Amino acid sequence: MPKTGSQTVEASLRDSSLRYTLLRFHFLSAIRVQELRRASPSEHESVASPGTREAVQFMEKLSRIIRIRNLLRACKMGVPRLEIITAVREPIGLGLAAVFENYRSFAPNPKSLTPELCSQLLQRYPGMLKSLEAWFERELKPMTGIDVYEQPFPHEKGYAIYENRFARVLVYRFEALSRLTTMMREFLGFENLSIISRNIGSAKQYGTQYTCAKTSLRLAGQFITAHCNSKLMRHFYNDEERRALERKWRCEDLQVC
C-alpha cells in the first residue's frame, strides 16, 4: 500500500545483511494495470509516459512470475515461499499524503495546496480512497491466497504475520513503523536492524504546507464517517481509534497556519 513507509523499510533492509532479492512496488493487480492503460490509451502509446509503460510491463511480468511460483509450490517443486512486507494506513491521512506526493497533478505548486483545496480534492475523487480501502482484496489476496480479514488484527501490537503454503506476509500499521526493528526480528530473524528513514513528507519541499494541511484539514461529516467505518478501518483500528480520527478531521477548533 502506498504512503505507508515502504521506502524506509526498503532502505533499512538493504542496509542490513540481506540474503533476499528485494523488490518494492505498490500494485500488481489486473485492475490496476487496466487503470494505467486507460490513463495511456493505446492509440497514443508513442507519447505515453515511459514511467507508465514501464510500470505496466513490470506489473505484468511480476504477476506472471508469482503465478508460476505458486503453481510450482502447489506441485511441491521445492520453490521457497514469498516473504512479503506490507502495511495499512487510515485512508484520509493516506489520501492527503498522496495528494502532496503527486501535487503536480492538482496544483501549479505546493503552496497552492491549501487545506481547503485538499479537502475539495479528497471529496471530489472519492474513488481514490475507496480503491485504497480495497487494497488487500485487490492486491494481496489474489496473489497469495491470504485473506487478512479472516482473523482479528492485534491493534495494540500494531502488526501481524499471516502464512499459507504460498507466502508469509507481515502486515503493519503505519503508526507502528517505529517498531520496525522488532517486526523484522520476528518476521525475518534480523537482529539489530538500523532504521533508515526515507521519503518523509514533512521533510520535503512541501513540508510546511503538508504539516498545515494535516493540522487544518476539515471534511464533511458524512464523508468522514463513511471512510472511518469502512471494512478496512473496522478491522485494523478499534472503536476508540476510529472515533478519535473522526474528531480529528471534523473538529471545529481549527488551528490556522
Q: Is the pLDDT of residue 42 over 70?
A: no
Q: What is the mean pLDDT of residues 48-66?
A: 81
In order of 94, 125, 240, 257, the CA distances from 155 in angstroms are 18, 29, 11, 33
Amino acid at 110: P
- Choice among 29-33, 99-103, 199-203 with the minimum mean pLDDT: 199-203
* pLDDT, tens digit, 9 for 90 and up, residues 90-121: 999 999 999 998 888 888 998 899 999 999 99
DSSP string covering the chain, please? Answer: --SSSHHHHHHHHHTS---S-----S---HHHHHHHHHHS-GGGGGGS-HHHHHHHHHHHHHHHHHHHHHHHHHTT--PPPEEEEEEE--HHHHHHHHHHHTGGGT-SSGGG--HHHHHHHHHH-HHHHHHHHTHIIIIIHHHH---GGGS---TTT-EEEEE-SSEEEEEEEGGGGGGHHHHHHHHH---SPPP-----GGGSTTHHHHHHHHHH----HHHHHHHHTSHHHHHHS-HHHHHHHHHHHH-SSPPP-
DSSP 169-217: EEEEEGGGGGGHHHHHHHHH---SPPP-----GGGSTTHHHHHHHHHH-
Distance, in Å, from the CA atom of 202 to the CA atom of 204, rounded to the nearest integer, reads: 6
Grid cell locating 4: 505507508
Using alpha carbons, select from 165, 160, 142, 25 the residue that is nearest to residue 81. Answer: 165
Q: How confident is the model at residue 16 (pLDDT cuts 50, 70, 90)?
A: confident
* Whether the predicted pLDDT of 37 surpasses 80: no
Name the band, by pLDDT with cuts 50, 70 and 90, for residue 235.
Answer: very high
- Residue reference for cell 492503460: 37
User: What global pTM score does this model have?
Assistant: 0.88
pLDDT band at 51 (very low <50, low <70, confident <90, very high): low
- Amino acid in the structure at residue 227: H
Reported as a single tens digit per residue, the pLDDT across 125-176 is 878 888 889 999 999 999 999 999 999 999 999 999 999 999 999 999 999 9
At 87, the pLDDT band (50, 70, 90 cuts) reads: very high
Answer whether residue 204 shows pLDDT above 90: no
Q: From residue 66, give the alpha-carbon distance in Å to each of 26, 213, 251.
A: 15, 39, 45
Taking residue 140's Cβ as centre, other Cβ atoms within 10 Å add up to 22
Position 46 pLDDT exceeds 80: no
